[in-house]
Amino acid sequence: MKYKKLFETVKIRNLELKNRYAMAPMGPLGLADAEGGFNQRGIEYYTARARGGTGLIITGVTFVDNEVEEHGMPNVPCPTHNPVHFVRTSREMTERIHAYDAKIFLQMSAGFGRVTIPTNLGEYPPVAPSPIPHRWLDKTCRELTVEEIRSIVRKFGDGAYNAKRAGFDGVQIHAVHEGYLLDQFAIAFFNHRTDEYGGPLENRLRFAREIVEEIKKRCGEDFPVTLRFSPKSFIKDWRDGALPGEKFEEKGRDLEEGIEAAKLLVSYGYDALDVDVGSYDSWWWSHPPMYQKKGLYIPYAKLVKEAVDVPVICAGRMDNPDLALSALEDGACDIISLGRPLLADPDYVNKLRTGQVADIRPCLSCHEGCMGRIQEYSALGCAVNPAACREKEAALKPALRKKRVLIAGGGVAGCEAARVLALRGHEPVIFEKSDRLGGNLIPGGAPDFKEDDLALVAWYEHTLAKLGVEIHLNTTLTKEEIQAVDVDAVLIATGSNPKILPLGDQNKVFTAEDVLLDKVDTGENVVVVGGGLVGCELALHLAEKGKKVSLVEIQDKLLAVNGPLCHANSEMLERLVPFKGVEVYTSSKVVDTTEKTAVVDVNGELKEIEADSIVLAVGYTSEKSLYEELKFDIADLHVIGDARKVANIMYAIWDAYEVAANL
């Protein structure tokens, strides 16, 4: 078997894992109850990933302390808030996970410090090693006292003891990474203390050292304690991170200190290092969008691996099994960590083990359902897997009566509806006007950094063929033709149409879709109108193809309307566009065109910009005319996806899943 090495056993301390796959910490916002235990959603969520073949489950963050740094309750599980209840709820989860021969670690946090996300944790007075600026709020953090530090250390011992009693096989400490509280102590840029917790590196790591020593004292030397660790921060300044390829002076942890810190942390007793890079000041490294390359942490994991003698775990867009295999074979790491890919497909590992690679539902690295929803709504989900984190409630039930269902439109909503209907035992029939399935995923996946959009199309094509779904391409149906077909229900998934603006010489005005599909020649000088998600990604795509691109946006900033839900995505894209040479004009609009230029109103002043073409990326309107024609004639009629409301891939898929799961 090609991927046999990925399924070899590996040990952390004396604990043997059945394969080289770990679930990266994802959650558990929305997966806790009011008393700090795991709720049923959380239990089902983690168990599903164990059932899917993952060797090691690492829970998302749990707080050991809720007094020094307050967090709104219920928020995430807490092993020290109500220990009896925590043990009771956790024990059910760990026993179920062990039934699948998987292991599970509880991730325990010292706190967020200056990076508390107010929408998640509340606007409590923030704490830090020193009086430093908060990452998001216009506040200065309060310096922790020595007694408060020691109190948190003791609670780590309590939390680990309760975790061990609850059946957890080990713990992961959160974290000397990403700029969380422990990381703030470890980095001189944040830590200005003059006591035993400040100054030299050994002092700045004292907090992390005392934690592992306390846990080992309480739980025994053989109880595995791992650490999430970033050997490099990519911090240019306060709230300012570096982009890939950018030259800058590191204000956070540089690699030289990162490798030295790794050696010290292992000497203190940490049994494995879970490696990434970045910080919340450069959080597109810690939470990599699709604009970051796959396997971006591998070089850093290898540097750490060469410096320490404990297992190294590597995450960071590792969903490509060939990439994962090469990382192991090259000695860059010992364990492959999957976060978002296991949200997208909890059965990823079992499918890979049995050679069913084409059956693995791809992650888009979009952050819409996971980090974006965590950030905005304090709840975890997945854009391409509506059942993520609600496995039991959203489980598909066999249909009591088989229905033949006509689906008008083979975009993402139509494909998802057909998949769900077929799994339930219905007979869906797709009618698609173009020559292939996929809808807006096809132009959306044209840029190199959007390859996973096309992977999702391929997955739908493969899955629907495997399910035997009847598909008619190059077919546009009229109201009368639909009424003449013998079906039990009709789903309208006709998508949306791009908005068109009159801009003078329309012969040089194109839509983003036509440009992305290479239907037109833009020439060398391109003006993109609209600085939303489509416009920014299009401008970046054209710039990477060597075009001279100008981006014109009527709002006072890029991505001001309907941008990515996750700020790691939006902030990276907003900075990446000018970094790649795109000339950006905000508070501006194109008012006319000439043969060779676009006339742009820039803050009230007219400017001529050289333009061989003008590309419109100013939004879409729902195409629901067919629904309007049929809504008084067909009883079981539904409109889904962009045809209902133009949003994004996530909501199109969720729409379709909801309707098809209950038809």
Q: Which residues are catalytic?
A: 180
Per-position DSSP letters for 582-623, written without gaps between them: -EEE-SEEEEEE-SSEEEEEETTEEEEEE-SEEEE-S-EEE-
387: CB partners within 8 A, 6+ apart? 394, 395, 657
CA atoms of 215 and 197, how far apart (whole Å): 19
Nearest to 68 by CA among 138, 6, 155, 132: 155
Alpha-carbon separation of residue 117 from 106, 135, 136, 368 (angstroms):
21, 9, 7, 17
612: CB partners within 8 A, 6+ apart? 508, 522, 523, 524, 525, 526, 596
CA atoms of 659 and 663, how far apart (whole Å): 6
Backbone angles phi, psi at 525, to 5 degrees: -110, 115
For residue 22, how far is the Cα from the chain centroid?
Answer: 17
3-state secondary structure of 529: strand
Contact at 8 Å (CB) between 599 and 592? yes
Q: Name the token pair of 251.
A: 């204000």
Contact at 8 Å (CB) between 229 and 304? yes
Contact at 8 Å (CB) between 588 and 502? no
Give the amino acid at 522.
T
Counted residue by residue, the chain has a size of 663
Backbone angles phi, psi at 456, to 5 degrees: -70, -40
Contact at 8 Å (CB) between 17 and 226? no
CB atoms within 10 A of CB 596: 13
* Residue 418 preceded by cis peptide, ω within 30: no
Nearest to 515 by CA among 412, 410, 616: 616
602: CB partners within 8 A, 6+ apart? 585, 587, 588
490: CB partners within 8 A, 6+ apart? 405, 406, 407, 408, 482, 630, 634, 636, 637, 638
CB atoms within 10 A of CB 183: 29
Give the DSSP H or E segment for 326: helix 321-329
Q: Name the token pair of 25.
A: 């910490």
Backbone angles phi, psi at 520, to 5 degrees: -135, 160
What residues does 174 pair with on adjacent strands? 109
For residue 144, the 8-state DSSP code is P
CA atoms of 113 and 129, how far apart (whole Å): 8
CA atoms of 144 and 80, how far apart (whole Å): 20
- Residue that the structure tokens 């249909």 belong to: 399
Look at the alpha carbons of 107, 110, 113, 119 in this order and tell me if their dihedral is positive or negative: positive
Nearest to 602 by CA among 557, 561, 560, 552: 552
Give the amino acid at 274.
D
